[in-house]
Amino acid sequence: MRELPRKKVVVIGAGFAGLASAASMAQAGYDVTLLEKNDVAGGRARVFKADGFTFDMGPSWYWMPDVFEQFFQKFGKTTTDYYHLERLDPSYQVLYGEQDTMELPAGMPQLEALFESLEPGSAEKLRAFLKQAAYKYEVGINNLVYKPSRSLTEFLDVKLLVDVLRLDVFQSMHKHVRKYFKHPRLIQLMEFPILFLGALPQNTPALYSLMNYADMALGTWYPMGGMHKIVEGMVALAQEQGVKIRLGEEVQRLEFDHDTITRVITAKGQYEAEVVIGGSDYHHLETKLLPQEFQSYTPKYWDSRVMAPSSLIFYLGVDKPLKGLRHHNLFFDEDFGPHAHEIYTQPAWPKKPLFYVSVPSKTDASVAPAGNENLFILIPVAPDLQDTEAVREHYYHLVMDRLERITGQEIRSQVIYKRSYAHQDFIQDYHAFKGNAYGLANTLLQTAVLKPSLKSKKVRNLFYTGQLTVPGPGVPPSLISGQVVAAEVIKDFAPQETTLTV
């Protein structure tokens, strides 16, 4: 008796989506090789260490813990097998100015009391808002986002069609929030999660109030040791399933037999492939690795896409404890409304940027030397901008002026480590289209079947996963994307025919 060789799958890119798809394919019986351009797995969730500090390079918010738990449970595991979670309380704080801050408590009674203190009657409205948002979360996260969106027929379900109105697909978040709340600060709080989706509240379907449910009801968590602990867990899980991970191997070209990829070529090796899953930048793979006749989308199509923001990030090590800061800090000291549009609609550096500061050392002593602080400062900015060292320095001092003034302390003189990261780095490290940080904006016209397809229209055995395809930007959606594409590959290229024993 002999066992026929298993189907060979090559996954390009070891971000959350690539790792999730690779592990899922291996579990289903495929021979999986995962190729990663960089020397560290994780994609935008890479990590680096310097001068005793450990810096997560990208995602810093752990929302939707159920999505992570469900992923690991598919393999008979749990998140606790790989990392330990702490729920943050307060979840985060908003700083409006000097001695003007608001902390978001983790407990619902305390949160309702906070709302009531700003707008009498709003506690009851918050309960109603979150009840509806919980329904959207249940339907959206457990049903809609797991659809591959290859055809409109997937959505021709009587219950789903009835649900469309309840899901507020055709109403904007802008209008939806204002039906419940009047106080400007409450409106800001309810619209803040939309920043993660990369579009203005006016252009984002009210379906995404499910993000408020994730924020306020499910809570904000932190994996001790840093966000990269999730990546380490997923790498270990993938290897347990038999995935062969090759770091520092950028794909240079693809070989074809008619409309089918047969081999993936890197500088270090050649890999036979019966299926290829692109977890790297969709646009780069399409336009740089595929011949023009095999490209599904035109340059005009790509240029017309509405992108989520890019980011200017500063990684700072500070040699003293800092006061007035929590783990997550949103700086709304500038007027949120009039200037928020700059990062989405104007191809220019913003005049008065919003910014966010994460200080994981407030929760986790392992990420900084004793008595020091680890700061991650992020400014959301438009994609496709020219960034220079002079521009970065300008924004560094602009933000530090505000940070020091609002928290009432000198910080710059205590910075002992500093690194910046922006458009050029996203392009160099990830081939990110237009230097994007988050992918496509989740506008109504870029939802579900209106996103770039997870299946190539012209290459028989090429699939895509990650933030430029369904379901969209963010860590949980990327985790889901990897599982969705694996299920589609299994439907189109069933493993049974090559795993029979004869």
499: pLDDT strictly greater than 50: no
pLDDT at site 266: 98
pLDDT at site 141: 87
pLDDT-derived band at 338 (thresholds 50, 70, 90) equals low
Query: Strands, E, within 305-354: which ranges?
Result: 310-318, 328-331
Q: Name which of 41, 106, 8, 57 is nearest 422 in CA terms.
A: 57
Q: Which domains does the chain have, with CATH numbers?
A: 8-84+225-304+442-498 (3.50.50.60), 107-148+158-218 (no CATH), 307-430 (3.30.519)
* Burial status of residue 89 (CB atoms within 10 A of its CB: 0-12, 13-18, 19 or more): middle
Report how far residue 200's alpha carbon sits from residue 335's, in angstroms, rounded to the nearest whole number.
15
Tens digit of pLDDT for each residue in 203-215? 888 989 999 999 9
The DSSP code sequence of 274-303 is: SEEEE-S-HHHIIIIIS-GGG-SS-HHHHH
Contact, 334 vs 398, CB < 8 A? no
Mean pLDDT of 459-471: 97
Pairing of strands 31-35, 8-12: parallel
Contact, 31 vs 9, CB < 8 A? yes
Report how far residue 466's alpha carbon sits from residue 161's, in angstroms, rounded to the nearest whole number.
27
Q: Give the number of other Cβ atoms within 10 Å of residue 371's Cβ.
A: 11
Tens digit of pLDDT for each residue in 347-387? 899 989 889 999 999 999 999 999 999 999 999 999 999 99
pLDDT at site 340: 63
502: pLDDT strictly greater than 60: no
Tens digit of pLDDT for each residue in 71-116? 999 999 999 999 999 999 999 999 999 999 999 999 999 999 999 9
Q: Name which of 271, 227, 226 is nearest 246 in CA terms.
A: 271
Contact, 148 vs 454, CB < 8 A? yes
pLDDT-derived band at 466 (thresholds 50, 70, 90) equals very high
pLDDT at site 495: 80
**Tokens 């690991």 sit at which residue?**
72
Contact, 307 vs 441, CB < 8 A? yes
pLDDT at site 161: 59
Contact, 88 vs 328, CB < 8 A? yes
